Amino acid sequence: MQRAAVAFGRVLRRAGIAAGTDRTLEFVRALEEVGMERRQSVYWAGRATFCSRPEDLKLYDAAFRAFWDEMSSGELPPVSRRKERSAVDLDSVQPPKKTVESDPEGEEAVHLRYSPVEVLRSKDFALYTAEEFEELRRLLADLRLSGALRRSRRLEPARRGRFDQRRTLRGALRTGGEALRHRFRAPRWQPRRVVLLCDISGSMAQYSRALMRFLHAGVISGARLEAYAMGTRLTRITRELASKDPDRALSEAADAVRDWSGGTRLGDAMKEFVDRWGQRGMARGSVVVILSDGWDRGDLGVLREQMARLKRLAYKVIWVNPLKAAPGYRPLAGGMAAALPYVDVFLSGHNFESLEELANAIASTIEEGDRA
Amino acid sequence: MNRNNDHGRRGGVDLPGVSNAEELQIRLRRYDYLADEGLATAIFLALRLSRPLFLEGEAGVGKTEVAKVLSRLLDTPLIRLQCYEGIDVYQAVYEWDYARQLLHIRTAEALGAGEDRERFEAELYSREFLIARPLLQALEHRGPQPPVLLIDEVDRADDEFEAFLLEILSDYSVTIPEVGTIEAGRPPVVVITSNRTREVHDALKRRCLYFWIEHPSFEREVEIVRLRVPGAGEKLARQVAAAVQELRRMDLYKPPGVAETLDWTEALVALDAKELNEQLVEATLGSVVKYREDQQRVRAPGIEKLLSRVNGGGWGRADT
């Protein structure tokens, strides 16, 4: 039984479910309760012990079917540790390994391709070389990303505010039962949640590489932040981006996102976000940042409606469009024009300086207001 | 395989006459709760392994109901902790009774008993002056069966509280600095619900058995309506269930849950309805569809459209 459970745990891990040893042990205990004779019992016992979010359920179903068939035919998967990560096309998110050494022009080439930091800060991401992406990592590490402050409902000791019985009484004990000093508590200030929705469709390809790094830097900075990729569908990638190593994090995100550099249905992706996450609370009072060029092949009415919903929920909506930096660009066409009335701040995000500007916009309250 | 190994030690809950998930399913039904096999298995395991049960699902699918029926079934109190933003230890576990403490100080002064300061302080911060909030109540409960502790909408609380909850759920004890450690006699039956407004931390979920509750199927919903609103006739129950299934397919912002189905049926029964018609739906739509945009979406194509799908959508013939 244990061997079967361990084997199943491995199948699940390969399928992408966080089936750690503790859960496997729990599964063994569950099997002791329900037995292994009935397929249904084993199925439900495994589902209750291994899954922890609705996304797991589909993966679990497929893995279970494969596992049960194998087990019924008496063949358990070999115990040897196979490499569990699937092969991914890293190229879209990871710069190619440095080829400088083999370059016939040697050092010269490095100098030519490398821009000093000051130049780099204002250089358009679309023109970045692979080495400059490496440099960007260092720049991003220093970028502070934190949502505008709001009053939390949690109280903390303060000079004025609500009367604090607990601490007043404590003090009173020290002064013979006389409350000489009155203590108070007041709401604490807390950064708002930041939600980043990054368009990863083909038309954004030149920028999404840098912007995904921005998302990654935000996630690992420990700020209250959620990251999503928008293509033909919506994928939550906060968890995938949590690895400190950017290459690993981005390749994991690429694994999770099946439609990298595909088409966009901005309206549909936004709708999925508001339906599944936003309305339930993730967008409520948050700073929502949409990073997209606003190309939408879907129905613009959908996008307009979803932007209106989002605007009602969010504290602040920021739209980052790399095209804005292009000379003569006017947000008149398509999705961008439909969305703009619901946007509080409209930024470009095509180079590092504009990302700094974005970080400021995320952290500032509306009263300090920089309206679009 | 020894199926009954060391329950005593782990303190799993034994229900006489229930030795597997199927029997539990039947028992739950007797208490007016219809659980499918998956949910019954999850509840069964939660009881036997004494693990918290973590329930997620759309609003109104009956997550809270699970805790309520368990408390009836085990004949044990239901202790409910409603989570909200900013909830802290003093609202969840214990609070000192300041008014009484102050009074005690005054009395001691009047009687001149306050000399031995240390002893006096110890007295002031003893169990006697402690107000037990839900979590402490659950740990202090003593009885033949452990109580059911419902931690409702945990996703509304913040991270700090979650971490604290994790601690309590790991050893079912809580330490109050002035009083000492208070330990549960037997671990309470814990049901945690979440509407998924945010992702609850993995560490907390790992302590729990997980179940995602779906909207019920048509047949099950008819059964639920019949069971919970006995005043509703067979025809009305089937029509209401079919209409709700149709509404859930309509891409509404807030698709109706079971709670809405029951509300709606009750409203219809109050109006003495035997079957659905346009006027009745028009009059009672607000009890099942609760957003203005959603109501417009239902009304725009016309209510008769909905009714024609209810009566001709194969729902009526689904009975076997």
- The pLDDT, as a whole number, for residue B81 is 96
Scored b (16 or more CB within 10 A) or e, B197-236 reads: bbbbeeebbbbbbbbbbebbebeebbbbbbebbeebeeeb
Query: Does the model's pTM come out above 0.90?
Result: no
Chain A residue numbers with beta carbons less than 8 Å from the beta carbon of B51 are 26
- Give the per-residue pLDDT at A187: 83
pLDDT at residue number A89: 34
pLDDT for B319 beyond 60? no
Please indicate whether, in this complex, the C-beta atoms of A280 and B20 are within 8 angstroms of each other: no
- Please say if the pLDDT value at position A248 is more than 90: no
Residue among A44, A57, A156 with most chain B CBs within 10 A, to mutate: A44
Domain ranges of chain A: 2-113, 155-189, 192-363
Min mean pLDDT across A112-116, B62-66, B196-200, B228-232 is at A112-116
Average pLDDT over residues B97-111: 83
Interface test with A, best of B106, B109, B164, B199 (most A CBs within 10 A): B199
Q: How confident is the model over B232-241, as pLDDT tens digits?
A: 999 999 999 9
Give the nearest partner residue to B212 out of A32, A54, A152, using CB atoms. A54
pLDDT tens figures, A118-166 = 778 888 888 888 888 888 888 888 887 888 888 777 788 888 888 888 8
Residue whose token pair is 């495994």: A46
pLDDT bin (cut points 50, 70, 90) of residue A206 is confident
Residue B287: its pLDDT value, please? 93
Closest Cα of chain B to A144: distance in Å? Answer: 21
Q: Is 0.90 exceeded by the ipTM?
A: no
Q: CB under 8 Å to A107, separation ≥6 — which residues?
A: none
Interface of A with B in 191-210 (CB under 8 A): none
Count A/B contacts: CB-CB distance under 8 Å: 117
Per-residue confidence (pLDDT) for residue A83, from 0 to 100: 36
Residue partners of B22: CB distance under 8 A and separation at least 6: B37, B40
**Residues A84, A87, A90, A92, CA torsion sign:** negative
Sole residue written with tokens 């005690």: B104
DSSP-derived 3-state class of residue B192 = strand
Q: Is B295 left (phi over 0), alpha (psi -120 to 50) or beta?
A: alpha
How do B173-176 and B180-183 pair as beta strands?
antiparallel
pLDDT higher than 80, residue B305 = yes
In angstroms, the CA A93 to CA A75 distance is: 39
Across residues B160-166, what is the average pLDDT?
Answer: 88
User: By CA distance, what is A55's nearest residue in B?
Assistant: B212
Place of tokens 């129950």: B237
Half-sphere exposure for A342 (CA within 13 Å, toward CB): 20
Residue A104: pLDDT band by 50, 70, 90 thresholds? very low
Average pLDDT, chain B: 88
**pLDDT surpasses 70 at A267:** yes
For chain B, what is the radius of gyration of the CA atoms? Answer: 25
Tokens of B222: 């008819």
- Contact residues, chain A, for B1 at CB < 8 Å: 1, 32, 35-36
Partner residue facing A32 (CB), from B1, B121, B209:
B1
- Establish if A1 touches chain B: CB-CB under 8 angstroms: yes
Q: Choose the weakest-confidence range: A335-339, B108-112, B129-133.
A: B108-112
**How confident is the model over A251-259, as a mean pLDDT?**
84
Partner-chain contact B198 A282, CB within 8 Å: yes
Q: State the pLDDT at residue A16.
A: 82
Chain B positions in Cβ-Cβ contact with residue A238 (cut-off 8 Å): 199
pLDDT band at A105, cuts 50/70/90?
very low
Strands A287-291 and A316-320: parallel
**Taking CB atoms and an 8 Å limit, are B37 and A152 in contact across chains?**
no
Average pLDDT of chain A, as a whole number: 81
pLDDT, tens only, B53-93: 999 988 888 899 999 999 999 999 999 999 988 888 888 99
Q: What would the mean pLDDT of A332-360 be, rounded to a whole number? A: 89
Segment A77-97, tens digit of pLDDT: 444 333 333 333 333 333 333
pLDDT value, residue B261: 96
Smallest CA–CA distance, residue B240 to chain A, in Å, is 25
Q: Which residues contact A356 (CB under 8 A, 6 or more apart)?
A: A143
Out of 3.40.50.410, 3.40.50.11540, 3.30.70.920, 1.20.1050.10, the CATH code matching A192-363 is 3.40.50.410
Q: How confident is the model at residue B115 (pLDDT cuts 50, 70, 90)?
A: low
Three-state DSSP class for residue B164:
helix
Interface test with A, best of B10, B24, B45 (most A CBs within 10 A): B45
Rounded to whole angstroms, the Cα distance separating A228 from B257 reads: 28
Q: Please report which confidence band the pLDDT of residue B267 belongs to, taking 50, 70 and 90 as the band edges.
A: very high
